[in-house]
Amino acid sequence: MRETVERGVAQLREPQTAEQLHDDLVHTLRQLRGEDASTATGRTGRALAIEGFTWTLRGIDARLEMTRNDSGNLEASVRDAARADRDLRKGARLLRAAGRSFGIRIGKLNGF
């Protein structure tokens, strides 16, 4: 499970398109949901990681919506950008907490 979290965090740091990152995060979430933790700390870390990657995925989705749907609509672009930032910030905070559970130091993710 620790390796899955480390791999997911590494994907967030790699330069790639939002579509590629979306697909990678979906795969990481699928892997985490399929793994079982044997300790209470592992279960806590797994739950935090799933929640963190889910919020990060929501932020990536908001960025994708902004580029797909909001061209020429300033209000919608600002709203989607604010939602993306909020979701990415929350995801990064949860992933750092998950990292602490697994003994992984996670710094900034996507600038958050």
Give pLDDT tens digits for 48-58. 999 999 999 99
The answer to whether the beta carbons of residues 33 and 50 sit under 8 Å apart is yes
The reply to whether 21 falls in a domain is yes
The candidate with the shortest Cα–Cα distance to 5, out of 44, 38, 40, is: 44
Asked whether the whole model's pTM tops 0.75, one would answer yes
Q: Would you state the torsion angle of the CA atoms of residues 4, 9, 10, 14, taken in this order, to the nearest 10 degrees?
A: 140
Q: In this structure, is residue 56 part of a structural domain?
A: yes
pLDDT, residue 108, reads: 84
Can you list the residues of the chain whose pLDDT is less than 50? Answer: none
Domain, as residue range, for 91: 2-102
- Look at the chain and report how many structural domains it folds into: 1
**Lookup: tokens for 55:** 């919020």
| CA distances from residue 1 to 16, 20, 91 in whole angstroms, order as listed | 24, 22, 18
Assess if residue 85 is contained within a domain: yes
* 109 is a domain residue: no
- Is 22 a domain residue? yes
Answer yes or no: is 108 within a domain.
no
Q: Within 10 A of 62 (CB to CB), how many other CB atoms are there? A: 20
Asked if residue 10 is part of any domain, the answer here is yes
Q: How far apart are CA 97 and CA 65, in angstroms?
A: 28
pLDDT of residue 77: 81
